[in-house]
């Protein structure tokens, strides 16, 4: 029913963001604050998530490589899935829950208490001032955090492999580096940047579209988290399909 | 000068403004009254350029809001101060920073001058000593006064106050209305005040407009307005005069 209007509205918002990026017209101060709260302050939770992802992945991969007698390929088995698929997706879902939900709640509250109209009265464009800095900060933060997370997941996988499966870390890393292609890294970076953009556009779109007082903010947060998750899976499918 | 001609604003199927017309001359203090949900706030938002009407013409200081481009609209908005019904204070910065904010964004005064002006304006609304509090540590009436200070610090040519007295005790309500009248006296600006404190509003306004289901049905100088024969006007004034006419539980 109104899914099409939501997708349309989000597309219009994305267009408005892009128009203000070339040439860049946005609030640098707000951007710096967002980068700190969204990127730096998410670091610990993202590292914890990545650590667990690495541990789980190596346990799952071990079952396969052991069955086919290819323990030496454990590093590649775990690394391939982490870098290409699970790292970007799981970290993006985590990011959406922490940063996306917070951004919607923040912008939603500003909208229902007329703070956004207050800005417009001062001839401040809410998109340049509120949305573009958040968009850039989320894309950059999620990409950087995913790269850090991938590294953490691989380190935790190699340590677990060493301790539990008696695959020494030298074998782990050499199997990983001999099979890993530049394209895998490119795919990981592309996915995380796309996921960051999805979360940013969704959270700002639903935040600024909030109506109906405090209960409306809850509704918007809910919509952001659900629609971001759906969009992440859809885009994940297509980007894997297209980029190999 | 404000001219609204046959304004229509709809939300979904519901008409918030339904053919509203209004003319306000410069320097007038116009009191706006009307039952809840009749479209007073929507009218204020149209005049402030925050809502584009579905049909009709809006002229504020000779700028046509329907045909002008974004820059013309923005420069017209710089001369309008709005106090919103929900105060719209920025919650993450202090009272002083809230009041300084419009000057920081709209002028290129030095930081020292901005602070001095903000402190002076806060004193004018009786909030000296509250400069470094966060808005969520203030009472409703104090928040209202911060919002008023923020709306008038740039000395706008047009000041719009949407329900500056909502939820306040009668005394504070009168104080705030008097402050608004004082601001107009000092700066000679045009003022629109929406308030349900009809008696207080009548005592400070030159003119009164009654909004009724999306239209201005009566607009006249205060003295003439009070003598109007219209039954809506009389009902509204009577209700204001005798809120609990003649009944009690015991
Ligand atoms: N964002 C919105 N979405 C849908 N309907 C709205 C919206 N804003 C206002 N309305 C409707 O438009 C009508 C006019 O609203 P408005 O806020 O202008 O009334 P008001 O006269 O200011 O009321 P009050 O005295 O209670 O503040 C109301 O019936 C309201 O339900
Ligand atoms: Mg209102």
What does the alpha-carbon distance between residue A221 and residue A62 come to, in Å, rounded to a whole number?
39
Q: Is B47 in the pocket of ligand 1 (CB under 6 A)?
A: no
Structure tokens, A92:
């993006």
State the pLDDT confidence band at A197, using cuts at 50, 70 and 90: very high
Q: Which of B63, B84, B85 to mutate to test the interface with A (most CBs of A within 10 A)?
A: B84
Q: How far is the CA of B73 from the centre of ligand 2 (A)?
A: 23
What does the alpha-carbon distance between residue B180 and residue A12 come to, in Å, rounded to a whole number?
41
CB under 8 Å to B51, separation ≥6 — which residues?
Answer: B9, B42, B45
Q: What is the pTM assigned to this prediction?
A: 0.84
H-type alpha helices, chain B: 40-47, 70-77, 95-106, 111-124, 140-152, 170-187, 198-204, 222-226, 231-241
Q: pLDDT over 90 for what percent of chain B? A: 60
CB–CB contact B48 A121 (8 Å): yes
State the pLDDT confidence band at B245, using cuts at 50, 70 and 90: very low
Q: Which residues in chain A have Cβ-Cβ distances shorter than 8 Å to B89? A: 113, 115
> Which of B102, B149, B112 lies closest to B130, judged by CA?
B149
The pLDDT of residue B230 is above 60: yes
Query: In this structure, are residues A243 and A181 in contact, taking their beta carbons and an 8 Å threshold?
Result: no
CB under 8 Å to B153, separation ≥6 — which residues?
Answer: B81, B99, B100, B102, B103, B117, B118, B121
The pLDDT of residue B248 is above 60: no
Q: Residue B246 has what pLDDT? A: 47
Structure tokens, B149:
């200070």
- How long, in residues, is chain B? 250
What does the alpha-carbon distance between residue A88 and residue A149 come to, in Å, rounded to a whole number?
9
3-state secondary structure of B69: coil
How does pLDDT run across B201-216, given as a tens digit for each residue?
Answer: 988 999 999 999 999 9
What does the alpha-carbon distance between residue B154 and residue B140 come to, in Å, rounded to a whole number?
23
Structure tokens, A148:
């850090």
What does the alpha-carbon distance between residue A172 and residue A70 come to, in Å, rounded to a whole number?
11
Pick the range with the lowest mean pLDDT from A139-153, A215-229, B161-175.
Answer: B161-175
Q: Is B16 in the pocket of ligand 1 (CB under 6 A)?
A: yes
The pLDDT of residue B193 is above 90: yes
Q: Is B40 in the pocket of ligand 1 (CB under 6 A)?
A: yes
Query: In this structure, are residues A102 and A199 in contact, taking their beta carbons and an 8 Å threshold?
Result: no
Tell whether A118 lies on the interface with B, counting CB pairs under 8 A. Answer: yes
Q: How far is the CA of B40 from the centre of ligand 1 (A)?
A: 8
Query: In this structure, are residues A200 and A104 in contact, taking their beta carbons and an 8 Å threshold?
Result: no
The pLDDT of residue B93 is above 60: yes
- Helices A182-208, A132-164: crossing angle, 10 deg rounding: 130
- For chain B, the distance separating the N- and C-terminal CA atoms, rounded to the nearest angstrom, is 53
More confident residue, A212 or A132: A132
Q: How far is the CA of B170 from the centre of ligand 2 (A)?
A: 19
Query: In this structure, are residues B61 and B157 in contact, taking their beta carbons and an 8 Å threshold?
Result: yes
- How long, in residues, is chain A? 244
Tell whether B163 lies on the interface with A, counting CB pairs under 8 A. Answer: no
Please say whether the dihedral angle defined by the alpha carbons of residues A138, A143, A148 and A153, taken in this order, is positive or negative.
positive
Segment 106-145 of chain B within 8 Å of chain A by CB: 106
Classify residue B96 by its DSSP letter. Answer: H
Tell whether A208 lies on the interface with B, counting CB pairs under 8 A. Answer: no
Query: In this structure, are residues A199 and A95 in contact, taking their beta carbons and an 8 Å threshold?
Result: yes
Pick the range with the lowest mean pLDDT from A13-27, A105-119, B236-250.
Answer: B236-250
How does pLDDT run across B123-149, given as a tens digit for each residue?
Answer: 988 899 999 999 999 998 899 999 999
Mean pLDDT of the region A48-57 = 90
State the pLDDT confidence band at A210, using cuts at 50, 70 and 90: very high
Give the residues across from A80 on adjacent strands. Answer: none
What does the alpha-carbon distance between residue B100 and residue A109 come to, in Å, rounded to a whole number?
22
Q: Give the position, in ligand 1's atom list, of the atom nearest the Cα of B44.
A: 18
Q: pLDDT over 90 for what percent of chain A? A: 57
Mean pLDDT of the region B36-62 = 92
DSSP notation for chain A: -THHHHHHHHHHHHHHHHHHHTTT-S-HHHHHHHIIIIIGGGHHHHHHHHHHHHHHHHHHHHHHHHHTT-GGGHHHHHHHHIIIIIHHHHHHHHHIIIIIHHHHHHHHHHHHTTHHHHHHHTT--HIIIIIHHHHHHHHHHHHHHHHHHHHHHHHHHHHHHHHHS---HHHHHHHHHHH--HHHHHHHHHHHHHHHHHHHHHHHHHHHT--SHHHHHHHHHHHHHHHHHHHHHHHHHHHHHHH-
Domain spans, chain A:
27-243
Q: Is B38 in the pocket of ligand 1 (CB under 6 A)?
A: yes
B37 backbone dihedrals φ, ψ, rounded to 5°:
80, 10
Q: Is B11 in the pocket of ligand 1 (CB under 6 A)?
A: yes
- For chain A, the distance separating the N- and C-terminal CA atoms, rounded to the nearest angstrom, is 33
């Amino acid at each position: 029913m109104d899914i099409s209007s939501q997708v349309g509205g989000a597309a219009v918002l994305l267009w408005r963001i892009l128009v203000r990026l070339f040439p860049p017209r946005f609030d640098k101060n707000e951007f710096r604050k967002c980068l700190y709260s969204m990127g730096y302050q998410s670091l610990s939770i993202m590292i914890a998530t990545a650590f667990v992802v690495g541990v789980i992945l190596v346990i799952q991969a071990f079952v396969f490589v052991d069955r086919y007698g290819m323990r030496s390929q454990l590093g590649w088995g775990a690394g391939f899935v982490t870098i290409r698929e699970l790292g970007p997706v799981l970290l993006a879902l985590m990011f959406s829950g922490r940063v996306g939900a917070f951004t919607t709640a923040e912008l939603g509250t500003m909208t229902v208490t007329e703070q956004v109209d207050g800005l417009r009265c001062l001839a401040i464009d809410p998109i340049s001032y509120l949305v573009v800095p958040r968009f850039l900060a989320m894309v950059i933060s999620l990409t950087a955090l995913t790269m850090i997370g991938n590294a953490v997941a691989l380190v935790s996988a190699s340590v677990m492999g060493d301790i539990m499966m008696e695959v020494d870390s030298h074998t782990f890393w050499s199997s990983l580096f001999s099979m890993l292609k530049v394209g895998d890294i490119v795919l990981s970076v592309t996915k995380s940047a796309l996921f960051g953009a999805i979360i940013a556009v969704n959270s700002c779109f639903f935040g600024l579209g909030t109506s109906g007082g405090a209960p409306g903010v809850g509704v918007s947060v809910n919509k952001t988290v659900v629609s971001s998750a759906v969009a992440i899976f859809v885009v994940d499918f297509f980007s894997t399909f297209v980029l190999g | 000068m404000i001219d609204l001609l046959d304004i229509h604003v709809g939300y979904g199927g519901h008409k918030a403004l339904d053919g509203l017309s209004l003319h306000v001359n410069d320097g007038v203090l116009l009191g706006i009254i009307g039952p809840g949900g009749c479209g007073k706030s929507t009218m204020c938002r149209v005049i402030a350029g925050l809502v584009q009407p579905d049909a009709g013409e809006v002229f504020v200081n000779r700028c046509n809001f329907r045909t002008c481009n974004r820059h013309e609209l923005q420069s017209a908005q710089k001369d309008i101060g709005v106090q919103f019904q929900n105060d719209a204070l920025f919650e993450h910065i202090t009272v002083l920073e809230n009041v300084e904010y419009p000057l920081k964004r709209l002028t290129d005064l030095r930081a020292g001058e901005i602070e001095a002006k903000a402190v002076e304006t806060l004193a004018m609304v009786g909030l000296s000593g509250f400069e470094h509090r966060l808005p969520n540590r203030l009472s409703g009436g104090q928040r209202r006064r911060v919002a008023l200070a923020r709306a008038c610090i740039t000395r706008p040519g047009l000041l719009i106050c949407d329900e500056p007295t909502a939820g306040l005790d009668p005394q504070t309500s009168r104080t705030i209305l008097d402050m608004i009248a004082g601001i107009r006296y000092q700066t000679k600006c045009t003022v629109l005040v929406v308030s349900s404190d009809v008696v207080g509003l009548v005592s400070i306004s030159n003119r009164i407009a009654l909004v009724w289901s999306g239209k201005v049905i009566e607009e006249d100088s205060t003295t003439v307005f009070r003598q109007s024969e219209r039954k809506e006007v009389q009902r509204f004034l009577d209700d204001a005069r005798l809120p609990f006419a003649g009944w009690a539980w015991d």
